[in-house]
Chains A and B, each alone.
Chain A
Amino acid sequence: MSLKEKLVSSFMAFEDTVDVHSPIHDIRSEAIKTFETEGFPSKRSEDWKYTSLNSILKHDYSVFPKNENALEFKDVKKYFIHEIDSYKIIFIDGKYSSHLSQTTHDGLDVCLMSAALTKPKYRLIIENYFNKIAPKNGLSSLNTAFSAEGAYIHIPKNKLVAKPIQIIHFSTGNEAALMLQPRNLIVVDENSHVQIIERHQSLTDNPVLTNSVTEIFANKRAIVDYYKIQNDNENASLIDNTFVNQKQESHAKVHTFSFGGKLIRNNLNFYQNGEHMDSTMKGITIIGDKQHVDHNTLVHHIEPNCESHQDYKGIFADSSTGVFNGKVVVEKEAQKTNAFQSNNNILLSDKASINTKPQLEIFADDVKCSHGCTIGQLDDSALFYMKQRGIPEKEARALLMFAFSNNVLDSVKIPEIKNRITSIIANKLGVNIGFDL
């Protein structure tokens, strides 16, 4: 039985675990039909030309983890940004861990999707926002069909949330192979500000496939800063589907740091429904071995006077492969749009590759849109210069690579995140030097 067949036939069993009379379930039932029709994307689809899911779909994944597992904080502390006070929504093998979490209902809701989908007090928000911007394609529909758990965050208006919120999914390897479908909903109301950190972490070598959907609504003048730390084990794969809907004068930033995992696909879409807003997408990818990271972005400029900024840096060693496909659509009404996109890559080996494709569809005539992509190697003359000053080859290469990707970190507002990212990079590059450039 293929994974698709297994998932479709599992849906009936899933129905036993949820309230089939809730309006949400109509959405789920519709979604499983879509998944049944669409299935998993194949390389025949233009959007998936350079990324094949075949190698990760062949495992016999458990779709519903049987046991609840416990983890001790001290054993997984290193995966938290533990230096700062934060709200935490933590899942272990797809199940909520109240032990590791710190949620709140005090003036804002930082809690669970399972609660939001079932309790009357969240009904209005769910009705207005749930599954409103996730596209009706195979992967998102699959997630919608099985949507039951994840993070639910609602920030009411005029609220500056001082503490960042960490969403972490651990998988313990209790199952021989595990598939997860986390579903997050984040609604940030007028004039509010929230910072969110998301991480998926497998703790064993057993295969894990996560197909995550996050819908983010940045309402009028809201500020959303979202950080994705992707540094998972070599048998863990992630398909991250994140959709951001923005209203006027809002600012939304998503930083994606991809350093580990077998296969990562980031589908990141921004929809600009309003004027005078900006959307920022930035990423650093540093991978090796046979790892694969694919960034597929879309910014949809619908109304005038808005900006978007995309800056993705990639460094590929060994036989690793990368994809960047950045699409910018500027509608006819979206005059005075400023849209910038850049994708710079370094290939460290003859076997590494990157496919980079900017895609601009501009229907307005008074706009500024730019895009640029580069693919290069490390500069030998710079390496010799650094070595001449006593910096050994490995450290010199690391410093050059870090300098290459460094500007992506400029817009990271939480110093502890910046420090964590730099130490992951140093670790990844096998050096012990400070990068306080």
Chain B
Amino acid sequence: MLKINNLHASVEDKGILKGINLEVKPGEVHAIMGPNGSGKSTLASVIAGKDEYEVTEGSILLEGEDIEELAAEERAHKGVFLSFQYPVEIPGVSVTNFMKTAINETRKAKGLEDMPAKDMLKMIREKSEMLEIDRKFLSRSLNEGFSGGEKKRNEIFQMAMLEPKLAILDETDSGLDIDALRIVANGVNKLKSKDNAVIVITHYQRLLDYIVPDFVHVLHNGKIVKSGGAELAHELEAKGYDWIKEEVNA
């Protein structure tokens, strides 16, 4: 699904990712953990194709294809989805219309006709029910005046609508109370299949109680310094990150 080789990336000539290697296979859930400033969000942005980041070395392969030259929307069309740590407010564009535009543009890129309005409405109804989203909410301007939890739930709603192959959840648990966390995690688990993959970026272990990872990687100073199974997340939760830093520096 995703293969990252020796990835180096910088923003404004400042190196942030310094040689990341990561392979994610279909059906897998990977968690990327690490202290603040370790490069977790940068990795998510670089995979999604944010312009500000420059890949200086290495490659990102999606299903064997190098996607480094592709624009963000082209990566999205190929099935990359990023749940934003800070979803952007877009006044004047309703959630529903945003989703309609996103889905139909993706279909257009694949040479498909627009989705019939009836099917679109049905899908919106099903997916919003799954995430316990009030219908009224969908006619509001995207993310404008949403609470932190509403924003995150809306991200997962969009993920459910777009059915990506590779979903990257960047700090999706931050700002969620326990009920919202359960709803969001439940949504992600329902969307999981043997054909898609999820990368969960988080600072804390608690989301991983609900979305159980197959692999946990620890990012420190732009590199993956330790990988393990789900138990590594518990260890990090109990011991913090300092021991990893010490291990790396030793």
A: residues with CB less than 8 A from B are 379, 381-382, 384-393, 395-396, 399-400, 402-404, 406-407, 433-437
Contacts and interface: CB of A to CB of B under 8 A. Distances in A.
14 contacts: A385-B84, A387-B76, A388-B81, A388-B84, A390-B109, A391-B102, A391-B105, A393-B73, A395-B101, A403-B141, A407-B92, A436-B97, A437-B92, A437-B97
Given A390-B105, A437-B92, 12 more contacts: A384-B51, A384-B72, A384-B88, A387-B49, A389-B102, A390-B109, A395-B101, A396-B73, A399-B98, A403-B90, A407-B92, A436-B97
B193 to A, nearest CB: 20
Contacts of A384: 50-51, 72, 88
A388 B72 contact: yes
B87 interface: yes
Contacts of A387: 49, 71-73, 76
Interface in B36-67: 48-51
Nearest to B104: A433
B196 interface: no
B94 interface: yes
A406 B49 CA distance: 29
A388 B76 contact: yes
Nearest to A401: B92
Contact of B76 (A389, A395, A403): A389
A402 B94 CA distance: 12
Given A384-B50, A399-B101, A392 B73 contact: yes
B164 to A, nearest CB: 10
B202 interface: no
B105 A392 contact: yes
A388 B87 CA distance: 11
Contacts of B103: 390
B158 interface: yes
Contacts of A379: 88
Interface of B: 48-51, 71-73, 76-77, 80-82, 84, 87-94, 97-98, 100-106, 109, 141, 158, 162
Contacts of A381: 88
Contacts of B80: 388
Contacts of A437: 92-94, 97
Nearest to B109: A390
Contacts, number: 83
Contact of A403 (B77, B87, B92, B102): B92
Contacts of B162: 389-390
B77 A388 contact: no
Nearest to A398: B101
A386 B48 CA distance: 12
Closest CB pairs A-B (n = 4): A403-B92, A390-B76, A387-B72, A390-B106
Contact of B71 (A389, A393, A403, A436): A393
B74 to A, nearest CB: 8
Q: Which of A385, A399, A400, A407 has the most CB of B within 10 A?
A: A385
B92 A404 contact: yes
Contact of B158 (A389, A396, A399, A404): A389
Contacts of B84: 385, 388
Nearest to A435: B97
A396 B92 CA distance: 13
Contacts of B48: 388
A391 B92 contact: no
A2 B135 CA distance: 65
B90 A386 contact: yes
B137 to A, nearest CB: 15
Contacts of B71: 387, 392-393
Contacts of A396: 73
Contacts of B106: 390
A395 B82 CA distance: 19
A432 to B, nearest CB: 9
Contact of B98 (A389, A392, A393, A407): A389
Given A389-B158, A395-B105, A406 B76 contact: no
Contacts of B158: 389
B156 to A, nearest CB: 13
Contacts of A382: 88-90
Contacts of A402: 92
Given A395-B101, A399-B101, A437-B97, A390 B90 contact: no
Contact of B77 (A390, A399, A436): A390
A435 B106 CA distance: 17
A400 B97 contact: no
Contacts of B87: 385
Nearest to A395: B105
Centre residue among A381, A387, A404, A435 by max chain B CB count within 10 A: A387
A403 B90 CA distance: 8
Contacts of A388: 48-49, 72-73, 76, 80-82, 84
Contacts of A407: 92
Contacts of B88: 379, 381-382, 384-385
A433 B103 CA distance: 12
Nearest to A403: B92
A400 B80 CA distance: 22
A385 B101 CA distance: 13
A388 to B, nearest CB: 5
A51 B229 CA distance: 69
